[in-house]
């Protein structure tokens, strides 16, 4: 009888998060099940419950890990360049099947407190990372001291989501650059 090697630590986390993302892509975010994730990752369900406690927390963690890779936070030393690169990466991501599903799930009404909490955790984590672009710009004096990093990121992200999800068409790279220029011009010191 062949004994299966037990996966632990970072290897377990990577296997489970990868399996979760494959499930999301295959069956959709609302149809992910821990049993299927565990089987695909080669781990026992209790390993998943021990680390993530609930399915919504697992899905949120997988999405954060995935979007961190797919939507990197640039640090070029220029807020205009950083926001443009961020906007282009976000627009590309939202234009994918998985990105669109994630954004749509954010606007769906949820009754489950765990789903609501996991969704809030996901967005809080992603916003905090993206806000670094504006915080660094504040430190460099590129934007006014009263500039709110969260509002800047939400204004840009909301515009992208509005075009992709509500209007059904993405912004062109040229229009994204125009939007970033308008935004940066509005928060730059005079």
Show pLDDT as tens, one digit a residue, over the chain (190 residues): 444 567 888 999 999 999 999 998 888 887 899 999 999 999 999 999 999 998 988 988 898 888 888 899 999 999 999 999 999 999 998 888 788 777 766 655 667 787 778 778 888 888 999 999 999 999 999 999 999 999 999 999 999 988 887 788 889 999 999 999 999 999 999 8
Q: CA 180 to CA 188: how far, in whole Å?
A: 12
What is the architecture, at CATH level 2, of domain 9-66?
Orthogonal Bundle (1.10)
Angle at 37 between CA 32 and CA 41, to 5 degrees: 155
Answer yes or no: are the C-beta atoms of 55 and 16 closer than 8 Å.
no
Domain boundaries, the chain: 9-66, 79-185
Answer yes or no: are the C-beta atoms of 82 and 149 closer than 8 Å.
no
pTM for the full model? 0.82
Answer yes or no: are the C-beta atoms of 22 and 33 closer than 8 Å.
no
Residue 109: its pLDDT value, please? 61
Residue 4: its pLDDT value, please? 54
Q: What CATH homologous superfamily does 79-185 map to?
A: Tetracycline Repressor, domain 2 (1.10.357.10)
64 φ/ψ angles, rounded to the nearest 5 degrees: -65, -45
Residue 105: its pLDDT value, please? 67
């Amino acid at each position: 009888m062949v004994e299966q090697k037990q996966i632990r630590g970072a290897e377990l986390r990577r296997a489970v998060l990868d399996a979760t993302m494959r499930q999301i892509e295959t069956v959709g975010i609302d149809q992910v099940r821990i049993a299927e994730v565990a089987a695909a990752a080669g781990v026992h369900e209790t390993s998943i419950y021990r680390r993530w406690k609930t399915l919504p927390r697992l899905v949120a963690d997988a999405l954060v890990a995935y979007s961190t890779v797919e939507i990197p936070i640039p640090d070029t030393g220029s807020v205009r360049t950083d926001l443009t690169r961020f906007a282009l990466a976000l627009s590309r991501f939202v234009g994918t099947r998985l990105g669109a599903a994630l954004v749509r799930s954010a606007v769906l009404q949820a009754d489950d407190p765990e789903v609501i909490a996991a969704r809030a955790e996901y967005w809080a984590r992603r916003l905090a990372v993206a806000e670094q672009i504006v915080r660094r710009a504040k430190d460099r004096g590129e934007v006014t001291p009263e500039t709110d990093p969260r509002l800047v990121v939400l204004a840009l992200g909301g515009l992208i989501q509005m075009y992709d999800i509500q209007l059904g068409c993405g912004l062109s790279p040229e229009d994204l650059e125009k939007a970033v220029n308008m935004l940066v011009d509005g928060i730059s010191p005079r």
